[in-house]
């Protein structure tokens, strides 16, 4: 028997945590509508009705975890306009890639808190620039407190998916991410299996450490082009509870960039008891498969709903998206993929 999400929320016991399936996860908050990784981006997503918000974590020079996707700050803050911080501009190799600019690891949290956040993609999302300078960079502590308050206010639990960025790099510079992470989760009473907290990374070593120290669910992230073998999937199953897979691993694109039949990834993962969350679903044409684009303008909105439907038909357990309202609308459709 199957039921739609709207008819029954579909709470399942998975990886020792109560989670809605399929879940809609707001990627860096509702980043299609507000500058990413701001408290208002997260609040907007919660107002829309998401199951979880996703945030990336990096560390300041004094070991405070903050919500940023990149260590380099000039794309998402006004740091380049700050003459008093000009001396911190430098070249840094992060995960084998040489970068130039201002880096979170070189600023104390007090210094970072003087910066103003701004839209990462102003050409693609010009409406978001209206919110440039309104907020700063939130700490993990602030985000968790806000999510807790919003969950109480709305009478429903909102989950958080925490991605540890550049974990090996942080280890190398003496700023391990997992130590302050687990300390903060324990301080806020979120270190138990039903806390609606998920831990993610592309880097297996930090996930293995976390799996040995916490009962919170752990997701191994897989980037586009990853050729996952059965042996590797078996290895992931030893420490992880699920996968966070690039959409193209679930819905392969042909030479023209169009999607068709899904891969066997979801089926293979589910056979091992691993969940699969697909990332990142975005509404603009430039990010969509070619057969779901509308018109020729790269920044016009295409048929994102079509991609969500295809992912759900492939059996994913969650969709991670910049435009959560569009994914939620699909799940409210009468013919929405059901929870089995």
In DSSP terms, 243 is beta-bridged to 220, 276
The model carries a pTM of 0.93
pLDDT tens for each residue of the chain, 340 residues long: 222 333 222 223 234 344 567 999 999 999 999 999 999 999 999 999 999 999 999 999 999 999 999 999 999 999 999 999 999 999 999 999 999 999 999 999 999 999 999 999 999 999 999 999 999 999 999 999 999 999 999 999 999 999 999 999 999 999 999 999 999 999 999 999 889 999 999 999 999 999 999 999 999 999 999 999 999 999 999 999 999 999 999 999 999 999 999 999 999 999 999 999 999 999 999 999 999 999 999 999 999 999 999 999 999 999 999 999 999 999 998 876 444 3
Indicate left, alpha or beta for 211 from its phi (over 0: left) and psi (-120 to 50: alpha): alpha
Alpha-carbon distance values, 257 to 57, 166, 204, 239, 284 (Å): 31, 29, 30, 34, 15
Which pLDDT belongs to residue 263?
Answer: 98
Tell me the domains of the chain and their CATH numbers.
Answer: 11-71+135-331 (3.20.20.190)
DSSP per-residue letters across 13-72? EETTEEEESSEEEEETTTTTTS-TTSHHHHHHHHHHT-SEEEEEEEE-TTS-EEE-S-SB
Alpha-carbon distance values, 24 to 64, 113, 316 (Å): 28, 30, 11
């Amino acid at each position: 028997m199957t039921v739609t999400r709207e008819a029954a929320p579909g709470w399942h016991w998975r990886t020792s945590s109560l989670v809605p399936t399929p879940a809609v996860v707001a990627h860096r908050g509702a980043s299609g509508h507000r500058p990413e990784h701001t408290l208002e981006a997260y609040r907007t997503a919660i107002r829309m009705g998401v199951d979880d918000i996703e945030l990336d974590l990096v560390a300041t020079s004094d070991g405070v975890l903050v919500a940023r996707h990149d260590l380099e700050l000039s794309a998402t803050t006004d740091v380049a306009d700050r003459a008093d911080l000009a001396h911190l501009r430098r070249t840094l190799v992060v995960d084998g890639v040489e970068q130039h600019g201002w880096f979170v690891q070189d600023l104390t949290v007090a210094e970072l808190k003087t910066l103003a956040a701004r839209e990462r993609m102003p050409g693609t999302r010009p409406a978001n620039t209206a919110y440039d300078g309104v907020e700063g960079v939130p700490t993990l502590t602030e985000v968790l407190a806000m999510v807790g308050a919003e969950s109480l206010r709305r009478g429903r639990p909102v989950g958080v998916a925490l991605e540890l960025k550049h974990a090996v790099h942080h280890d190398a510079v003496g700023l391990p991410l997992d130590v302050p992470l687990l300390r903060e989760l324990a301080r806020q009473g979120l270190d138990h299996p039903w806390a609606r907290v998920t831990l993610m990374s592309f880097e297996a070593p930090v996930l293995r450490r976390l799996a040995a120290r916490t009962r919170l669910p752990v997701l191994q992230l897989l980037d586009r082009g990853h050729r996952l073998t059965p042996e590797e999937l078996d290895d992931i199953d030893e420490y992880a509870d699920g996968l966070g897979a690039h959409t193209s691993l679930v819905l392969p694109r042909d030479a023209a960039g169009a999607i068709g039949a899904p891969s066997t990834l979801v089926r293979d993962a589910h056979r091992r008891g691993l969940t699969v969350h697909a990332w990142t679903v975005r509404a603009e044409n430039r990010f969509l498969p070619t057969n779901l684009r509308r018109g020729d303008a790269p920044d016009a909105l295409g048929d994102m709903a079509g991609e969500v439907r295809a992912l759900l038909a492939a059996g994913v357990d969650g969709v991670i998206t910049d435009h959560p309202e569009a994914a939620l609308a699909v799940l409210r459709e009468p013919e929405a993929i059901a929870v089995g």
